[in-house]
């Protein structure tokens, strides 16, 4: 039994090194994309955001959403569910429990 311990330790070290080598490009790509995509909007982007929200309001008034395919509607619904779940998870983290606030 004691003779197998060095083998197990060596295997763990090799596996750890392989994991670090394999994860390095994935982590660097994630970091590059996250810093770009998850950053708050810059002041230069505000006119574009305003234009998008105005267009969204016009599309809602003209019932343009009625012309969506089932795939597009399902995709939009899933995005809405994801946003709602992040909100609820943030609430749970903020209040420190799943049930209720201290009143």
Statement to judge: residues 49 and 91 lie in one domain: yes
pLDDT per residue over 37-90, tens digit each? Answer: 888 999 999 999 999 999 999 999 999 989 999 999 999 999 999 999 999 999
Q: Could you give the CA distance from residue 26 to residue 28 in angstroms, rounded to a whole number?
A: 6
Statement to judge: residues 50 and 31 lie in one domain: no
Half-sphere exposure of 6 toward its Cβ, with a 13 Å CA cutoff? Answer: 2
For 51, the domain range is 45-103
Statement to judge: residues 55 and 102 lie in one domain: yes
Q: Could you give the CA distance from residue 89 to residue 98 in angstroms, rounded to a whole number?
A: 9
Statement to judge: residues 103 and 58 lie in one domain: yes
Statement to judge: residues 26 and 54 lie in one domain: no
Statement to judge: residues 67 and 103 lie in one domain: yes
pLDDT per residue over 82-101, tens digit each? Answer: 999 999 999 999 888 888 77
- Domain count across the chain: 2
Distances (CA, A) of 11 to 17, 22, 23, 24, 49: 10, 16, 18, 20, 53
Report pLDDT for 28: 93
């Amino acid at each position: 039994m004691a003779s197998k311990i060095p083998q197990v330790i060596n295997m763990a070290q090799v596996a750890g090194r392989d994991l670090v080598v394999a994860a390095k490009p994935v982590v660097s790509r994630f970091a590059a994309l996250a810093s770009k995509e998850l950053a708050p909007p810059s002041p230069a982007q505000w006119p574009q955001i305003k234009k998008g929200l105005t267009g969204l309001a016009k599309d809602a008034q003209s019932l343009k959403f009625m012309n969506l395919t089932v795939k597009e509607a399902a995709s939009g619904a899933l995005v809405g569910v994801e946003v709602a779940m992040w909100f609820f998870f943030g609430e749970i983290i903020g209040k420190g429990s799943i049930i209720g606030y201290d009143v």
